[in-house]
């Protein structure tokens, strides 16, 4: 089994219900293809570096996945035809960093230090 980090960017007008549906839909695809979702992170609505399909912002969702290449191909095939998504990216990694949360608020970081 290979380890992958997979990030999707949903349209800025996607509701929290839509985001949950996307997470459930793509989690089912991975599980159906003998994969395992190790961790799912919702990074929230962030500014894009450039306008994509008339969107200045996007809702970022990040998956840490343990699966084979077949599952990733199936996942990306479904994402390429999904109108709710702007972009997706899959990166194969050697190991997961499960402790670090890069999108904490500044207030949360101050509380952790104390």
DSSP-assigned states of every residue in the chain: -EEEEEEEEEETT--HHHHHHHHHHHHHHHHHTT-EEEEEEEEEEEEEEEEETTEEEEEEEEEEEEE-HHHHHHHHHHHHT-TTEEEEEEEEESS---S--TT--HHHHHHHH-
pTM of structure? 0.84
Structural domains of the chain, with CATH: 2-96 (3.30.70.60)
pLDDT of residue 109: 44
Q: Residue 30, exposed/middle/buried by CB under 10 A (0-12, 13-18, 19+)?
A: buried
Give the pLDDT mean for 17-39. Answer: 92
Q: What's residue 91's pLDDT?
A: 94
Q: What is the mean pLDDT of the chain?
A: 87
Q: Is the pLDDT of residue 105 over 70?
A: no
């Amino acid at each position: 089994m290979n380890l992958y980090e997979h990030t999707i960017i949903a349209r800025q007008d996607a509701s929290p219900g839509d985001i949950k549906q996307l997470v459930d839909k793509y989690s089912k695809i991975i599980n159906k293809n003998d994969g395992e979702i190790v961790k799912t992170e919702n990074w929230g609505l962030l500014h894009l570096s450039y306008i994509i399909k008339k969107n200045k912002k996007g809702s970022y969702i990040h998956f840490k996945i343990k699966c084979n290449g077949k599952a990733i191909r199936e996942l990306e095939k479904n994402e390429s035809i999904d109108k709710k998504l702007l972009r997706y990216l899959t990166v194969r990694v050697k190991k997961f960093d499960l402790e670090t949360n890069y999108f904490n608020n500044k207030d949360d970081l101050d509380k952790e230090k104390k």
